[in-house]
Structure formats: structure tokens, C-alpha cells
């Protein structure tokens, strides 16, 4: 069983984890979120600098907590993309340095696929075929996984705003603190999801030929903005709970409608949901309920594995090592728009 060191640095979290086969030994994350909050979003230069400052302390803490040393590591995995170029560069420079110094194989892996792979640490190795819905601030992707280490097919993706991105933009519209997602989720639990009939984009029959598995949330965001503007112009108080609940229900409804359709049409009975937005309570509840009704096993990792973390990279790296995939040469480059058909760089 190989001991894999996983390094995550695609955005604002510096993550380091150790995975042995499918067992997570330790997962340590340092976040620079507070440094970005006053800007209302991620500032790439700030994120890159934070990774530089956080990497060594995070690595040291992970090794100490696991009772391991660098000499115990058998392979290194690092997120090579997609993500912010500066942040990716910091993490990959660190990984390459460790690989050279330790004489260990290095695997640059796909961050988005890692959001699905982390579920193997919780619910065990994937069955022969899996559908994965990865939803976060930057990505909304539907993946058919025949082998998480070697064969992933992207069925659909967002054409504009990702689900998490739409939540943050609506949060700003409603004058909620950044990031908006958790605040909208909290308000939505107290609201009526049927109060406002917000649109469900790309679900009409005319879109099914070209965009059966694609998503679009920009129009929904605009619909919320126009509804709020009309209410304010009329001098009426905005029912934040009902707006949040109706908006969140529209997002979750479209995600599950398209994803479960894909499961049925590809004869897949296991669905994995990952990414930061999978922490959303309405999505989790709807996924479990509709999955049971459709006879589909829905696997969603605990919330601590949903946001960016080293465990997801170590999990994917461990899967790659188990399959005997050749390590990367040291001259590979990071890829901010790494295609989801590529598991490794």
C-alpha cells in the first residue's frame, strides 16, 4: 500500500493530506478566505502569497499529526489544474521540489476529478460505473466515470456561472456577507421554496439535443435581481428567506433533474456529488430524496471533504498509483483550464 502525499493549492485553500491506499491518515487545510472577504471575492495575488506562507507550516503539521516523515512518503500528488495560475504554480513548485529532493514519483492530477475521488475515502472504491456531479464556486460539471484514474468523460458543464458563483452573486445582491452561499443556505431553511417561480434554464424540450446535460445559472441570477428590484421600487420589504429558498430550490432542481436523467440514460445506479456547493442543504436533501425514488445510490462526502482540501488530491493520486499510471516528467506545466477528460497532467 503506497503512502501518497496530496497537495492542493488551486484557489484560496492550502491543503496537505496523507492517504494510504484508500485510508486517510491526515488532512490539514489553511484557508486565506478571511483575507479575500473584504474584497468580496478571491484576489489571485493575495491567494498566491498566502500559499507561499502557508505551505511549509501546513506540511509540517500534517506529518506531525500522522506520525510520519517525508522519507515515509511513496508518491506525491498535486493539483495541476484547473485553478488560478499563480496558486497552482506555488503548489506545483513545492511538489516538484519535494519529488526531486526525495526521489519520489510525482503525479499532477485534475482538481475537479479529485472532488469526486475523495468519496472513495468515505464510502469505499467506486463500482464499475459512476456518475459524478461536481459543483463548486468555479465548476459545475457532470462526469461519467468508468475509471476514476484513467477514464472520465465530461457529459456536461455550466455555460456561464457555476452554481456556487451564482450563489455568491445573489448573496451580494441581497447584501449578505461574502461568501454568500452559506448565508443563502441558512436563510433558505426558513423560507418557502415555492414562493417565487424562478426559471429553470436549459430544461425545456428545445434544449435537449444540444444541452441535455449542460447548465446555466446566469439567467436565474438576473431573474432574482429583477424580482428584487421590482419589489424595492414598489417600496416593499424583501422577504429574504423566501427569495433564498426559491432561488436555492431552482438551482438544486435543475442540478438533480439533469443529473438523474443522465444516470438513467447511461444505465448508472451510483451517483457521487462533490465540490464546495455540495455542502448546500437543499441540494443534499433533494439528491437523497430523488435518488431513492429513482433507485439510485447517492454518495455525498461529509461537508469537510466538500471544500478544497488535500484529501481529495491524495485520494485521486492514490487511485492513480493503484492503477499503475506512469508519473509525470518534471517539465509538465500547470493548466488553469485543464480539461476534465484528463485525469493527470
- Residue 26 has a pLDDT of 98
DSSP collapsed to 3 states, 314-338: HHHHHHHHHCCCCCCCCCCCCCCCC
Residues 279 and 147 placed together within one structural domain of the fold: yes
Q: Is residue 332 part of a domain?
A: no
Q: Give the C-alpha separation, 78 to 69, whole Å.
A: 18
Residues 141 and 110 placed together within one structural domain of the fold: no
Count of structural domains, the chain: 2
Q: Is residue 328 part of a domain?
A: no
Q: Which residues contact 146 (CB under 8 A, 6 or more apart)?
A: 128, 129, 152, 153
Q: In CATH, what number is assigned to the domain containing residue 92? A: 3.30.420.40
CB 16 within 8 A of CB 31: no
Domain membership of residue 107 as a residue range: 3-118+309-322
Q: Is residue 246 part of a domain?
A: yes
SS3 assignment, position 171: helix
Q: Is residue 102 part of a domain?
A: yes
Residues 69 and 213 placed together within one structural domain of the fold: no
Residues 145 and 264 placed together within one structural domain of the fold: yes
Q: Which residues pair with 297 in a beta bridge?
A: 270
Residues 103 and 151 placed together within one structural domain of the fold: no
- 120-174 pLDDT, tens digit each: 999 999 999 999 999 987 889 999 999 999 999 999 999 999 999 999 999 999 9
Residues 101 and 198 placed together within one structural domain of the fold: no
Q: Is residue 182 part of a domain?
A: yes
Could you tell me the three cell numbers for 213?
A: 446535460
SS3 assignment, position 108: strand
- Residue 179 has a pLDDT of 87
Cα 38 to chain centroid distance, Å, stands at 23
Q: Is residue 340 part of a domain?
A: no
- Residue 33 has a pLDDT of 77
Q: Give the C-alpha separation, 137 to 170, whole Å.
A: 13
Residues 242 and 155 placed together within one structural domain of the fold: yes
Are β-strands 3-8 and 151-157 bridged in parallel, bridged antiparallel, or unpaired?
unpaired
CB 253 within 8 A of CB 247: no
Residues 107 and 256 placed together within one structural domain of the fold: no
Residues 108 and 186 placed together within one structural domain of the fold: no
Please tell me the pTM assigned to this model.
Answer: 0.95
Residues 294 and 316 placed together within one structural domain of the fold: no
Q: Give the C-alpha separation, 248 to 168, whole Å.
A: 12
Categorize the per-residue pLDDT at 1 as very low, low, confident or very high, splitting at 50, 70 and 90: confident
Q: Is residue 345 part of a domain?
A: no
Residues 297 and 315 placed together within one structural domain of the fold: no
Residues 280 and 164 placed together within one structural domain of the fold: yes
Amino acid at each position: 500500500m503506497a503512502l501518497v502525499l496530496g497537495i492542493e493549492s488551486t484557489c484560496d485553500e492550502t491543503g496537505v493530506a496523507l492517504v494510504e491506499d484508500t485510508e486517510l491518515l491526515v488532512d490539514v487545510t489553511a484557508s486565506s478566505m478571511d483575507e479575500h472577504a473584504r474584497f468580496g471575492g478571491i484576489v489571485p495575488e493575495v491567494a498566491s502569497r498566502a500559499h507561499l506562507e502557508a505551505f511549509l507550516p501546513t506540511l509540517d503539521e500534517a506529518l506531525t499529526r500522522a506520525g510520519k516523515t517525508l522519507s515515509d512518503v511513496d508518491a506525491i500528488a498535486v493539483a495541476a489544474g484547473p485553478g488560478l495560475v499563480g496558486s497552482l504554480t506555488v503548489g506545483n513548485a513545492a511538489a516538484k521540489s519535494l519529488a526531486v529532493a526525495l526521489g519520489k514519483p510525482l503525479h499532477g492530477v485534475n482538481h475537479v476529478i479529485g472532488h469526486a475521488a475523495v468519496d472513495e475515502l468515505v464510502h469505499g472504491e467506486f463500482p464499475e460505473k459512476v456518475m459524478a456531479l461536481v459543483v463548486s464556486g468555479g465548476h459545475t460539471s457532470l462526469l461519467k466515470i468508468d475509471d476514476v484514474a484513467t477514464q472520465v468523460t465530461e457529459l456536461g458543464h455550466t455555460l456561464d456561472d457555476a452554481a456556487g458563483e451564482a450563489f455568491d452573486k445573489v448573496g451580494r445582491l441581497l447584501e449578505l456577507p461574502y461568501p454568500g452561499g452559506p448565508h443563502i443556505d441558512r436563510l433558505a431553511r426558513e423560507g418557502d421554496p415555492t414562493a417565487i417561480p424562478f426559471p429553470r434554464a436549459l430544461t425545456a424540450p428545445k434544449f435537449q439535443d444540444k444541452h441535455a446535460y449542460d447548465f446555466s445559472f446566469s439567467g436565474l441570477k438576473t431573474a432574482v435581481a429583477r424580482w428584487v428590484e421590482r419589489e424595492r421600487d414598489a417600496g416593499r420589504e424583501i422577504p429574504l428567506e423566501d427569495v433564498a429558498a426559491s432561488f436555492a430550490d431552482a438551482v438544486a432542481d435543475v442540478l438533480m433533474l439533469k443529473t438523474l436523467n443522465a444516470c438513467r440514460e447511461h444505465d448508472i445506479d451510483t451517483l457521487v456529488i462533490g465540490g464546495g456547493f455540495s455542502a448546500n442543504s437543499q441540494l443534499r436533501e433533494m439528491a437523497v430524496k430523488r435518488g431513492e425514488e429513482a433507485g439510485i445510490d447517492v454518495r455525498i462526502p461529509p461537508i469537510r471533504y466538500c471544500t478544497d482540501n488535500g484529501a481529495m488530491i491524495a485520494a485521486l493520486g492514490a487511485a492513480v498509483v493503484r492503477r499503475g499510471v506512469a508519473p509525470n516528467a518534471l517539465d509538465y506545466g500547470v493548466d488553469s483550464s485543464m480539461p476534465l477528460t484528463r485525469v493527470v497532467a
